[in-house]
Structure 1
Amino acid sequence: MTAPASLRIPLFLTPELPCNYLPDRLARTAFVGSEVPMSAELYAALMRQGFRRSGSHVYRPHCAGCQACIPVRIPVADFRPSRSQRRNLAQNADLAVGWERPALAEDHYQLYERYISQRHADGEMYPPSRDQAEQFLLADWSATRLLTLRHDQQLLAVLVADVADDGLSAVYSFFAPEQTRRGLGVRAVLALIERARSAGLPYVYLGYYIADCRKMNYKADYQPQQHFRDGEWQTVRD
């Protein structure tokens, strides 16, 4: 199996396994072969074909008879925050937004450890460790930054993002689990959109939207957006 002909990238398929998002489905993933010398430029081209990364592994769902995972990106120039998103901005006006190099400092890791232990103790990333966090969040070849939210120097949220020639790509976010009223995940995505706009980048890539999965369907809240279907990006509105 190969990627789109213009890229000519060899891929390999995993066996079918139970889906992590839809419990009644089986999932299969196409990974870029390890012999491919990955770079930030090549990854940006693959992102435009619906690929994502987990650590240094670049992948795309390839499930028989299922297309529930839809790559989604936000056209930054057209985005307007909803009423609830404007409320989120107002209630988090006391937070400082940072844009940091991708080394996991001690406060970054401590927040990650607390978030995984309290929010995802039943998942594949538990128990967390520093090595596991770095292997999952970072890649030697990627142009990665950490968008941070702080209150009086206290770190409350981190959104790991890759910088591409046409936008910013959200890799993963984690935040103070006890700060539920702030809506830190929403504020981090809004800050990423703001960052792309200020940098003159046209898109923010949010990964896969899955309508029937609560953990993944929140992405529909950012409008308008584009979905990658049938080999092209198509604008959709709620």
Structure 2
Amino acid sequence: MRHSLPLTPQFYVTAPQSCPYIDGRRERKLFTALQGSGAAELNDKLSKQGFRRSQNVLYRPSCADCTACLSARIRIADFKASRSQRRTMARNAHLRREVTSPWATEEQYTLFRRYLTARHADGGMADMDIFEFAAMIEETPIRTRVIEYWDDRPKACGGQPALRAVCLTDVLDDGLSMVYSFYDPDCPQDSLGTQIILDHIDIAHDGKLPYVYLGYWVPGSPKMGYKAHFSALEIFKNREWQAIGDALDHADETHPLSVEPIAEQVAQIDLPGAAFG
């Protein structure tokens, strides 16, 4: 009988490139492949340690002189919507939620292009074509769903349902991870980005899942500041989850000596005990 040694994930670091969150900074990422029969377990384990999924890759920031990016999640049991968030839910009560398998559609891509043009025209995804978009949606080795929000009001849509928002969502063993979301840029008054998060909180609550993972919160970045507006927010800092407290207390740490060497970072990652490959 042929035997083989268990394979452990191999970690790599990307080349430095311009930071999308803080002007004048350079970013790099620590990443590993997400594949094989242990993919779901690895994704669950590393998501609890600040990693995020992009297609078949798990990554987290590992910059040479900055530790500003902090993974954020909402603790469902203690979340209480603010007055403005309750108004957002009331404004969007007409939206119909549809949960589907991870399959890209032309309606999604059309909305995605409109969203990028209006909100992120100079971002790294601005040139993404329909094939790359389909790969972003469909290439997942774990339990993933596409959650769509439709507007069926005849007056608003000329008699046809209109796709207003989309979120690519992973189902973890302890919550929902919002991988990527986009929405109608012509409806700023509806606060659709906030509505998507609020609805995910409802979905997690109904599914008895304790957390909704929001991705990275970056102190001082206008693009990420909205995440601090949600109550019961936790951040992954100093290798542990902790309540965010006062957002102003988390200044970006940019001293080179505040960053551990890559080898030490990898050695401290808690991996599942099962074999991979």
- TM-score (normalised: structure 1): 0.91
1:85 equivalent to 2:93? Answer: no
Partner of 1:72: helix, strand, or coil?
A: strand
Distance 1:126 1:144 in 2: 24
Paired residues of 1:61 and 1:69 also in contact (CA < 8 A):
yes
Aligned residues: 232
Distance 1:65 1:15 in 2: 14
Per-residue displacement from partner, 1:28-55 (whole Å, max 9, x unpaired)? 2111157877612211111011100122
Per-residue displacement from partner, 1:179-230 (whole Å, max 9, x unpaired)? 1111111101100110000001000000100011111121101111111112
Counterpart residue number, 2:120: 120
Gaps of 5+ in 2: 1-6, 153-160, 247-277
Partner of 2:197: helix, strand, or coil?
A: helix
Higher relative contact order (CA 8 A, sep 6+): 2
The change in CA–CA distance for 1:27 and 1:38 in structure 2 (over 3 A counts) is farther
Matched AA of 2:12: F
Q: Please, what is the CA RMSD of the aligned residues?
A: 1.9
Counterpart residue number, 2:207: 199
Query: Which consecutive segments of 4 or more residues in structure 1 shift more than 3 A?
Result: 33-38
Instruction: Report matched runs for 1:78-227 at 5 Å.
Output: 78-152=78-152, 153-227=161-235
Query: 1:104 Cα deviation (Å)?
Result: 1.3
Matched-pair identity in %: 40
Per-residue displacement from partner, 1:59-105 (whole Å, max 9, x unpaired)? 11111231100011111111111111011011111111222221112
Paired residues of 1:38 and 1:141 also in contact (CA < 8 A):
no
Moved more, 135-144 or 82-91: 135-144
Paired residues of 1:54 and 1:137 also in contact (CA < 8 A):
no
Distance 1:138 1:217 in 2: 29
Counterpart residue number, 2:57: 57
Paired residues of 2:33 and 2:56 also in contact (CA < 8 A):
no
Partner of 1:53: helix, strand, or coil?
A: strand
Matched AA of 2:126: Y
Paired residues of 1:72 and 1:226 also in contact (CA < 8 A):
yes
Distance 1:198 1:180 in 2: 28
Counterpart residue number, 1:3: none
Counterpart residue number, 2:252: none
Distance 2:37 2:27 in 1: 26
Query: 1:142 Cα deviation (Å)?
Result: 2.2
Partner of 2:241: helix, strand, or coil?
A: strand
The change in CA–CA distance for 1:208 and 1:38 in structure 2 (over 3 A counts) is farther
